[in-house]
Structure 1
Amino acid sequence: MAQYKAAVVGLGQIGLTYDLDPKRERPSSHTLAYELHPQIELVAAADVSKAQGVVLNNLVPEVGFYQSLPELLQNHAIDIISICTPAVDHLPAIQYVLRNSATKIIFCEKPLVRSLEEAAILKQQLTDSDCLLVPNLSRRWNNGMQRVKDEVSSGKYGELQKVHVRYTRGIFNTGAHIFDLLQWWAGPIDQVQVIGRVVTSADTDNDPSFTFAFRIGDNVTGFAEAFNDKQYYLFEIDLYFSQGKISIRNSGDDVSYYYVGEHHLFSGFNSLKLERQESKLLADANLANAVDNLVNVLAGIEQPRCTIDDSIDPLYIVHALLRSYNNNFSQERAGR
């Protein structure tokens, strides 16, 4: 069984500390996902903060700690490296890895980059490299979300007509997941129009949260409503079909499937009736599944479930939303 060496750059929440939260399913961080995988040897991690090195040492004491990416790469040959730094640092970190190592896979947190200009630079540089960049749009690795895609594609519930979204924490952060899931399930968002702005904790990261209307193709209309996460955290999606409905709740931990049946109160009308419910979907740890996929990519037996284009497409929506807001809520095309 082949063994691969891994490293993590950036030991914040997704890089390390999510696995200190007893309510989260393990692994919820890149560090522990690598540490627990039988074909991965986690050899090193880096963060500018020495305090994070202490936390790392308490969780995985055998892993080398460095305060810079150059120092890490000078001391280790890495097969997979995770970039879990703030998004503003992603492009220079990826560029440094490409120039100064023989790393085979860069596994990068979302948003991959902060602008379409950075995305164009990155795509060009990757064409001259043997290194594969895999963005972590984590729900791509969740089997429950894959089943939603399969049900949408099957046509079992008829034609998709409307989408309702309720979310907190920014169009760059949570928005990356929303836009990716919708295009994965139904196709790209073509038009957006901001209706208003809501204050959330993501504002401190320059990540605004908008309530907005949108369209997917000619036949699907959508509405996304932002909520203040200081009151409560939300990530919910309702897909309305001509013959049913799919509801995603509790940040994707629960999915309910509904069919159309005779209304129990009013003759001559139909209503939505619960067909089945799937719960605890996040116990199927996304990061563990992602690392499985990366190992199989290195072994040549799978393709990555998420590509650079999957991660760049949400940026078109983000920039269309920003234009709509800055132009006093005009309707904007998310042209690609």
Structure 2
Amino acid sequence: MVYRAAVVGCGKIGSEFADDPRIKDIYTHAGAYSVCRDTELVAVCDSNPGKLKRCASRWGVKYRFDDINDMLAVQEPEIVSICTPDPTHYELIRTAIASPSVRAVLAEKPLAMRVDEARDLFRMAGRKKVVLAVNYSRRYAGNFQNLRKFLQSGGIGDIQAISGHYGNGTRHTGTHWFDLVRFLVGEIRRVRAFDRLHEAGEDPTLDVHLELDRNIFGYLHGYNSRDFSIFELDIIGTLGRVTISDSGHTMRFHRVADSPYYSGYRSLMPFKEERGGMVDTVLHAVEDLVMCLDTGAEPLCTGRDGIENLKIAEAALNSAKEGRAITMDSE
């Protein structure tokens, strides 16, 4: 079966990254639906006339709309991607879920700006039997799936601590990092955040101290994204270490070995580096969504994951505001 798909939001992740000469893989929603053999991109939607025209022309889409309600009523897509700015996600995802033709929604992160809104979307999708997935893209990358198996098999022994670096908002990019930690290491149970940068707006970039299951502690360092982009995660175990850098495109592996510098000492020595494994993530997300529609399985990144990641971000924001640690409640 070929599913009718539509993209709402024709910006970078919706379409424009496909024209970046440095991006060689399938990194946009429009590109993924156009390439996937089980989907047909039948409509695109954006309030910006220029972006809408360029996107429709780029992918050869006949039907273009500046209003999601018109698009849903006229084209009746079965899958809808929401790729618009973060504050618009809740209303647009809700509108898509409510449409009689829609069977699945692939949302860009965060799912919403508030946990109660995310919960509302999750419950609504459940009632309507709509598959709700969130594009925390590293879950769909082969290198990260392999890394998860490696860590779960004891590849670096018992995990002792994690640390990371990010920028561009606790909800916007911070939830990406929280999701990756949950995917690779375990659940985050307690946070204490600090507003060191004092950024304006409703999504400041915080520094966050974290406590996880199995007595694992971590720290996430925030940076001003106007200076540079950064997304890194360092995982240290009793037998080794994995360092993720370049937004996930590079992984460096270390293992405990005799120090080449000091007799009688054991050190974390590098033994392997992997590059280039994070490819076609949006295409894999679309393929996973199609598999869910065909089989009834859950997506690799569910609406429930979207809620959990947003809960951590919201707890961090409240922690920084109130000057205290906050323990996560069970969903």
Q: Deviations over 1:70-108 (max 9, x none)?
A: 111121121211011223222222222233322111111
TM (norm. structure 1) is: 0.93
2:72 is matched with 73
**Secondary structure, counterpart of 1:256 in structure 2:** strand
Task: Number of aligned residue pairs: give it.
Answer: 330
User: Hey, what's the Cα distance between the residues in 2 that align with 1:276 and 1:63?
Assistant: 48
Q: SS in structure 1 opposite 2:183? A: helix
The CA deviation at 1:304 is 1.4
Bigger drift between 118-127 and 228-237 goes to 118-127
Cα offset, 1:179, TM superposition: 0.6
Give 1:306 shift: 1.1
Structure 2 partner of 1:119: 118
**Equivalent-residue separation in structure 2 for 1:27 and 1:84 (angstroms):** 15
The 1:208/1:229 distance shift into structure 2, 3 A limit, reads same
Matched, 1:307 2:302: yes
Q: Give the deviation of 1:240 after TM superposition.
A: 0.4
Deviation, structure 1 residue 218: 4.6
1:320 aligns with 2:324: no
Aligned mate of 2:267, from 271, 289, 299: 271
Hey, what's the Cα distance between the residues in 1 that align with 2:4 and 2:195?
A: 47
Q: Give the TM-score normalised by the residue count of structure 2.
A: 0.94
- Cα distance in 2 for partners of 1:63, 1:242 equals 57
What does residue range 20-31 of structure 1 map to in structure 2 within 5 Å? 20-31=19-30
| Unaligned runs of at least 5 residues, structure 2 | none
Q: Deviations over 1:304-324 (max 9, x none)?
A: 111111111011211211111
Aligned to 1:230: 226
Aligned equivalent of 1:5: 4
How many Å separate the matches in 2 of 1:301 and 1:334?
30
Distance 2:291 2:193 in 1: 41
Q: CA contact under 8 A between 1:35 and 1:41: conserved in structure 2?
A: yes
Contact 1:199/1:228 (8 A) holds in 2: no
Please give the per-residue CA displacement for 1:124-162, whole angstroms capped at 9, x wherever unaligned: 322321211111111110111111111111112111001
Residues 251-296 of structure 1 show CA distances to partners (whole Å, capped at 9, x for unaligned) of 00011111100001111111112222110123x2101111121222
Give the deviation of 1:28 after TM superposition. Answer: 1.5
Native 8 Å contact 1:102 1:131 kept in 2 = no
Q: What is the deviation of 1:12?
A: 1.6
Q: 1:242 and 2:238 equivalent?
A: yes
Q: Indicate how the Cα distance of structure 1 residues 223 and 129 shifts in structure 2: closer, same or farther if over 3 A, else same.
A: same
Residue aligning to 2:38: 39
**Structure 1 residue 258 corresponds to structure 2 residue 254:** yes
SS at match of 2:242: strand
Question: Counterpart of 1:233 in structure 2: which amino acid?
Answer: S
Higher RCO by CA contacts (8 Å cutoff, separation 6 or greater): 2
Going from structure 1 to structure 2, the CA distance change for 1:195 and 1:301 (only over 3 Å counts) comes to closer
| Alignment-mate amino acid for residue 164 of structure 1 | S
Conserved? CA contact 1:27–1:287, under 8 Å: yes
CA 1:259–1:33 in structure 2 vs 1: closer, same or farther (change >3 Å)?
A: same
Q: CA deviation at 1:199?
A: 5.9
CA distance in 1, matches of 2:157, 2:85: 41
| Amino acid in the other structure paired with 1:247 | T
Say whether residues 1:332 and 2:326 are aligned partners: yes
Single out whichever of 225-234 and 41-50 deviates more from structure 2: 225-234
CA gap of 1:33–1:199, structure 2 versus 1, over 3 A, is farther
Gaps of at least 5 residues in structure 1 are none
Where does residue 181 of structure 2 map in the other structure? Answer: 182
SS of alignment partner, residue 289 of structure 1? helix
In structure 2, C-alpha distance between the alignment counterparts of 1:233 and 1:100, rounded to whole Å: 37
Q: Distance in 2 between the 1:317 and 1:303 partners?
A: 22
Q: Which residue of 1 aligns with 2:207?
A: 211
Q: CA RMSD in A?
A: 1.7
- Find the aligned partners of 2:319 and 2:130 in 1 and give their Cα distance: 36
Q: Which amino acid in 1 is paired with 2:237? A: F
Cα deviation code 1:12-47 (max 9, x no counterpart):
221111222211233221011111222211000111
Correspondence for 1:288 among 283, 290, 305: 283
SS of the residue 1:197 aligns to: coil
State how far apart, in whole Å, the 2-side matches of 1:169 and 1:223 are: 17
